[in-house]
Amino acid sequence: MKISIKNSKEIEKMRVAGKLAAEVLEMITPYVTPGISTGELDKVCFNHIVNTQNAIPANVGYRGYEKTICSSINQVICHGIPDDNRILKEGDILNIDVTVIKDGWHGDTSKMFLVGKCAPHNERLVKITQECLYKGIEVVKPGAYLGDIGYAIQQHAEKNYYSVVEEYCGHGIGNVYHEEPQILHYGKEGKGIKIEEGMCFTIEPMINQGAKYCKTLKDGWTVETRDGRNSAQWEHTIAVQKNGAEILTKRSEEI
């Protein structure tokens, strides 16, 4: 398994791409309201990336995918396909996942949105899942292990009576969209690959209200919970620096 170690100039290029990806999520936030279609959200993101950022939407054409964002609503865990007929309604929870390419380098991130007024149990799922992401990021430093990330996420999720999706994981990223290593969101402390300065990867826990099991729909992309209960996901691209993780896709709303 060959893992790419980025130098400071390469990380600076990833910093630019990451900032653009974060900007897309900031830009689209006011549009996420009851009555808008996920297809319309996709068009707005595409136009912003191409015409305002002068960048490339990485998902378009990737392994046959045709859209700019993944829009995953309620029980959809990941890879939901935007559709002009899929209208957001009051109380939905929505994940928008976007990746931007700038000068050949990728920034990959996702955010959960509460559509209008949501039920407290859905608000809690979204909140705890974001905490899982942050707890995973907190343990990243040279000399730690990838298993430490999964352990931190799994402990927080299960302590709050949620389950961790195991079939999908984070990934190395750089001038290649998905590369080694895989970043599992469950695991044991001190296990797996040792983390080194210069590694760049995503952490993107998918946390379910019910059981961890999932199913892929006939479109070949959309992944849902098998029991029909809701799921949430947050994602950041990070670079390993000597003092810990630098979040390359941090949004202005985050401390």
Separation of alpha carbons 45 and 20, rounded Å: 11
The strand pairing partners of 194, in sequence order, are: 145
SS3 7: coil
Separation of alpha carbons 124 and 111, rounded Å: 15
SS3 134: helix
CA 109 to chain centre: 5
pLDDT of residue 244: 97
Nearest Cα residue to 170 out of 204, 139, 141: 204
Residues 6 or more apart whose Cβ sits within 8 Å of residue 3? 172, 179, 180, 181, 193, 196, 199
pLDDT of residue 245: 98
Cβ(227)–Cβ(211) under 8 Å? yes
Cβ(255)–Cβ(130) under 8 Å? no
pLDDT of residue 64: 95
Q: What is the pLDDT of residues 72-130, one digit of tens each?
A: 999 999 999 999 999 999 999 999 999 999 999 999 999 999 999 999 999 999 999 99
Separation of alpha carbons 56 and 12, rounded Å: 18
* Model confidence pTM above 0.95: yes
Q: Cα 245–246–251 angle (5° rounding)? A: 130
pLDDT of residue 225: 98
Regions of the chain short of the pLDDT cut 70: 1, 255
Nearest Cα residue to 238 out of 166, 140, 159, 111: 140
Residue with tokens 């590694």: 199
pLDDT of residue 14: 98
